[in-house]
Every structure is written in structure tokens, then in C-alpha cells.
Structure 1
Amino acid sequence: MEFTIGGRLEVRIAPADVGKRVSVRRVAEDGPQGPKFTDTVGVLTSWDDGVLSVTPKNGDSVRIPESSLVAGKVVPSAPARRRGPAASFGELARVTARAWQPVESEPLGEWLLRASGGFTRRANSVLPLGDPGVPLDVALGRVKQWYADRGLPAYVQTATGAEGAQEELCAALEEHGWRREVTASVRIAALAPIGDLPAEVSRVRLGRTADEAWLGRYQRVGTPGPEVTSVLNGGPSVWFASVPGEPGDQAPAAIGRCVVDGRWAGFMAVEVAPEHRRRGLATTVMAALARQAMDEGASAAWLQVEEDNEGARALYDGMGFAAHHLYHHFRPV
């Protein structure tokens, strides 16, 4: 990371740069061996009373005393993407939301409050895609009450790491006592290479609803209630895939879900029974769903994977998926 001009470190940011992506270097500690420095890259979300707040793409704001700065500069708003279809944050935020239709929703300005009996945070969180129409503290108070009335914890879903994302909202939530609980990556890829993967797609059964056998393999719930099937079956064009197990098996060996929405095909709920893993069944399910999505005119793929799921990330990297942005769920503490 280069800050020098003519051999000197310079702080070339100011309070007027709030909202821009910056790179800063600060003194982390000053010991007997000399000062140690720490670098931070993220959106400058505030600069008040001699303290900066910088929010990196992981969503956790870093507070930096102005007196500790030794260098700083504005950097491009987002790094150049190297692969995958072109997509804005706003487009993907709406597409991914339509794949998890809530049982109940209510607008709050340009925010959408969503509830589905607690099944998945995505269908039980606020989707903030603009101004709530009231001051933030008022909006958050209404959010807490709305979810409390339904016996649910209050969550706000935010995104970081892409142009037009919500680093400033993340910092504001932290200032109001909300904390990040879960982070996942939204990844995108061209769809055709997934459909072309070598796989025995003839083994895959496709259907329009999550039947009892499919739900028997789905690990997210025990006994599924009506809100589960409502969310899973909701979306623009939903497909369920299953690979039968051995004779006598009640649940499939592998399953998957795909939601086709215009040019996008979203993949989720790809699961393989432990005794059938390492046989390429996840690839088989993905390939079959991709071919069905292409038949409906889709050309791009997306999926969401939690950051600590290294096995899934490795699988999807091999299919050509690249990270587009991160999304987080914040909860009041």
C-alpha cells in the first residue's frame, strides 16, 4: 500500500470525504522498538470530534483517533471485477430478495420488513434499499416493535464491498447498539459453464414444489411448518432438484433449489447426504438446475455462502463463481 509523495507520508483525506472509500494508516502502538502501524481500507462513514469511523467490507466499523493518522487517501469506490457477469449491487439485492419471499411484509419508506415465522434470516429481516422516511432511531424503534409483536428477533440485512452498498448504514447500526451476527458472500458466475459441467443429469428429478422427500433431506428445519413451504415455494420461477438414494432410502441422496428470475438463476439449498458425499452429486444437481434455467432464458448465476464454509466456497470457486459483495445481519444487543 503506497502513501508516499516525494518520500513523505501524507494524510490526504478530510471530513468532506465521508461516504468515499479510503485507505488509511495509523499508529497502532508505540513501543520501545518504534511505532507499529495498521492499515485499514473501507468507506469513511463518519468524522466527528476528532474520531474517524471507517467500515471495511466485513461490516465491522473501525474507530480511529485523528491524532493517530499518519497517512490517508481516497481510493476507487470498488475494486475492478475480473470475472463473472456485470451486475450492480441494487440489481442483485432485489433479485436475491425475490428468491426468499416472506410470508408477511410491510414497507417502512424504502425499507421492507419481512417475517416468516423465523424460517431463515433472509425471510425474517429488514431489507433496507433506501430511506426509511423517518429518522434512523425512529425507524429502528419501529423495527424492534414490529418483530417483537410477532415473537421474533429484529434483524436488519445490510451489504458491503460493492459500489453503492451500505457501509454507512452498518456504521450507523453499530452506533445505535446493533451488532453483526452473520456474514455471507454473494457470488456470481456465468451460467452456461455450470450447465456444461460433466455430470449425470439424467439422474436428477426436477419438480416445482418441495415435496415430502425433498424436505426430508433439507437440513435447515426439523418438522417443516407452513411458513417453510411458503418461503421455499415462493419466487418468480422455482425448481427443486433431487437425486434418488439407494433403494429403500426415504430421503434423496442430494437436493437443490433454483429460482429463475429474468437473466438470473439463483442456487440454494444444495445438500448431499453424508454417505453420498465426494461423488460429484452437488455438481450434478447444479448442472441439471442450470440447464433448466438456461431453457428459461437465464444467462447468469448467483448464490450465497457463509464466509466460514470453506468446502462450499472451494466447490463454487471451481465452477467459476466470484465474490460480488458481502451481506450481513445486524441484531440489537
Structure 2
Amino acid sequence: MVGGVPLEARPEVRIDPSDVGRRVSVRRVDGVADGRPVFRDVIGVLTAWDGGGLTVESRAGAPVRFAAELLVAGKPVPPFPARRVPMPATTPAELQRTAARGWPAVEQEALGEWVLRASAGFTRRANSVQALGDPGVSTAEALDRVRDWYAARGLPAHVEVTEGVSPPGLTAELAGLGAALAPTVVRTARLGGLTRAAAPDSWRQVRLSRTADRDWLSLYRRVGDDPALEAAARAVLHGGPSVWFAHVPGPGGAPLAIGRMTVDGDWAGLGAIEVAPAARRRGLATAVMAVLAARAAEEGATAAYLQVEAENHGAQALYDHRGFTTSHTYHYARLPQR
């Protein structure tokens, strides 16, 4: 209670535990000075409301925790309005390294300037060698070491080859070994365009969280019943700087749509954008991306990147309509076993 007034009787409190995951503006009592209460305001994502009180993550990402009885006013507010700013300068190599930080493998080891990555087989990105720069040995010897390293972990050896960045001759060396290349396209967009693409008030459907729970993972569909794979997936998904998970709640708790984002300086990495089959063509993917983009802008990012398989024409079309353009292409090459 504040001043003897029960929480449910405070007319300025227009939020409740069902608003967890929304961006809110709250005012709370934060001490007493000269016999009078001191009020503090915070705007951010309401990440918890439980028996211990409320937690709001501010623009800077610092959680503000306080007891419910100190809440004076609160209301949901629209997502942060992203500014219209130029795309940040970057190179394919820099963006590949940014993406690697946003999807960090469970185990990593350097081979010269290359990075060997393993995560119990969870995604090729987290189980491939990122071949940027000089491995410090000949290409043939580097690939031999790559095969040995992954074989020791019971994993196939994949090489991430980035056009115009990976060592000259690497593609020819891989072709000589019979390694087929699977192209992935890296696409980028300004955050402002993404936040304005969603239908008005669609942000009200989307909730944000710092963790991926069972419901979120149920729609992600890349985690099976293997405990080792699930542990690796959770480590990768929750790794990286400033990670956020989005979902649109559905009947019975199962989400209708999900997404993941990691914010790293100027860049927000978007991924795991999934919509339940029965909920498609309702703008939910666009709403999820818009809310994630707005949160990234609130943390200081200005642009987004994502990675999509070249043959995924449906996703490519969606991203075309949302203003994404192609930055560069990289390939995964699977080395044949000896």
C-alpha cells in the first residue's frame, strides 16, 4: 500500500502482471526526504511482477527492482521511436564477427585468425570454423586440423566461407575435396523502417523477455529431446550481448510467434523469427521484428542484420518488403569424412 491505498484502488496504476513483457512507464516511491516521499520514474520493459515486486529494465539495460506497494503510477507505452539515421559503416568481415558474438558457440578455439566453434551440433553457425583471415598454416593443413578437431568431438566439419573475405584459394581447395557449398545471405536494414512497418497497435500483442522458456522453445523447433543438444541450444541462445526474446502469446500459453535479438553496439541481430502455421499472414512476424527493433534502438543500435538461407524464398520476400538489402553472402562447406 502507498498512503494506505491498496494497489487495485490506485487510479493511475494501469498495469498488472499480465503486462509483463511490455514496455511501460512507472512511478514509484524511492525513499523519503524532509518527511515527504521521493518519487522516481522509469521507462522500460516490465520483465517481472511477482511476490517480490516489479522489475523494469530501463533504456540502459539496468534492472530497477521495487516492491509493488511502492508503485504509484504505471501504464503501457508504445515502443521506442527509432530515429532516422544512416546505416553504420561496416565490412563483411566485421559483420560476420558481430554475428558470431551474437550467436556464441559453447566451445571456441583459435586457429590463427580462424575460429573453431562447437556446440553439440546445434546449428551450423555454432558448429563451424569461421574462416576469416590467415589460419597461420597452409590452407590444406588448416583444413586437416579442422577435420581432426571436429572428429574429436563427434561432429561433421563445416567451414564458413565468406565471399571476398576468406583466404584466396579456400573455395578451390574445398571444391577439390568435394565439399559442396550452401549459400547464406546476410541482409541489413535501418531500425527505423522496421519499427514503422508494423500495423498500428500491433506492439500490444508482443512480449519481451530475457530468457527463452519452454513455450518459446516449443515453437523454435530446433531443439529435440537430446539433453546435450538442449543444453547447448540454451547456452547459444542466451549467449551474446544484450539478448532479448519476443513472443506473441496464444491460447493455452503456446506462442503464436517468436523472435530473438542481440544488441551489439550499432547492430541488432535478428533471428529465430517463427510463426505458428495457423497464425500466419496476420502480420505477427512483422510485429515481432518491430518491437525487437524498437528495443534495440532504445539501447542505442541503429541497424539490424539477419542471416537467411539463399533458398528460403518466403523469408527473402518478407525481408524484401521490410526494407532489408543484401550485405554479402557466405557459404557453409561440409568437409567429407576421411
Residue matched to 2:330:
327
Query: Residues of 2 paired with 1:138 and 1:254: CA distance?
Result: 45
Whether 1:143 and 2:138 are equivalent positions in the alignment is: no
Equivalent residue in structure 2 for 1:231, among 227, 230, 236 = 236
* Map of 1:27 onto structure 2: none
- What is the distance in 2 between the residues matched to 1:271 and 1:104? 27
What code does the residue aligned with 2:239 have? Answer: G
* 2:245 paired residue number: 240
Q: Deviations over 1:98-156 (max 9, x none)?
A: 11100001111111100000000000000112111111221111111110010000011
| Structure 1 residue aligned with 2:74 | none
Matched residue, 1:300: 303
Q: In structure 2, list runs of 5 or more residues that go unmatched.
A: 1-85
Match of residue 197 from structure 2:
197
* Equivalence for 1:39: none
Give me the whole-angstrom Cα distance separating, in 2, the residues matched to 1:172 and 1:299: 38
205-214 or 116-125, which deviates more: 205-214
User: Contact between 1:84 and 1:321, CA under 8 Å: does it hold in 2?
Assistant: no
Could you tell me which amino acid in structure 2 is paired with residue 325 of structure 1?
H
Alignment of 1:1-333 (within 5 A): 85-160=88-163, 164=165, 168-175=169-176, 177-199=177-199, 200-223=202-225, 225-246=230-251, 248=252, 250-333=253-336
1:29 — aligned with what?
Answer: none
Q: Quote the residue 1:22 is aligned against.
A: none
**Aligned-pair distance for 1:87?**
2.5
- After TM superposition, give the deviation of residue 166 of structure 1 in Å: 5.3
Structure 1 residue identity aligned to 2:190: A
Which one-letter code corresponds to 1:220 in the other structure?
R
Deviation at 1:181, TM superposition (A): 4.1
CA, structure 1 residues 166+85, in 2 after alignment: closer, same or farther (shift >3 Å)?
Answer: farther
Task: Say which SS state the counterpart of residue 307 (structure 2) adopts.
Answer: strand
Tell me the alpha carbon deviations over residues 268-317 of structure 1, each in whole angstroms, 9 at most, x when there is no partner: 00000000000000001000000000000000110011111111111100
Q: Distance in 2 between matches of 1:173 and 1:310?
A: 27
CA distance in 2, matches of 1:84, 1:187: 12
Distance 1:167 1:139 in 2: 14
2:130–2:159 CA contact under 8 A, matched in 1: yes
Q: Unaligned stretches of 5+ in structure 1?
A: 1-82
3-state SS in 2 of match to 1:179: coil
Letter in 1 for 2:297: M
What's the counterpart of residue 25 of structure 1?
none
Give 2:207's aligned amino acid: R
Q: What's the TM-score once normalised by structure 2's chain length?
A: 0.70
Tell me the CA shift for residue 164 of structure 1.
4.0
**In structure 2, distance between residues paired with 1:198 and 1:149:** 47
Distance change in 2, residues 1:173/1:145 (3 Å): same
- Counterpart of 1:278, as a letter, is R
Q: Is the 8 A contact 1:159 1:167 kept in 2?
A: no
**Structure 1 residue 221: deviation in Å?**
2.2
Match of 1:72 in 2: none
CA RMSD of aligned residues (A): 1.6
In structure 2, relative to structure 1, the CA distance for the partners of 1:166 and 1:274 (3 Å cut) is farther
The aligned length equals: 246
The residue identity in structure 2 corresponding to 1:295 is E
Q: Which TM-score applies when normalising by structure 1?
A: 0.71
Task: Give 2:27's aligned residue.
Answer: none
**CA contact 2:189–2:303 (8 Å) conserved in 1:** yes
**Kindly tell me: are residues 210 and 167 of structure 1, through their superposed partners in 2, closer, same or farther at Cα, counting changes over 3 Å?**
farther
| Contact 2:131/2:166, CA 8 A, preserved across alignment | no
Q: Which amino acid is the alignment partner of residue 291 of structure 1?
A: A
Q: Residue deviations 1:231-265, cap 9 Å, x none? A: 0000111000000012x2x4200000011100001
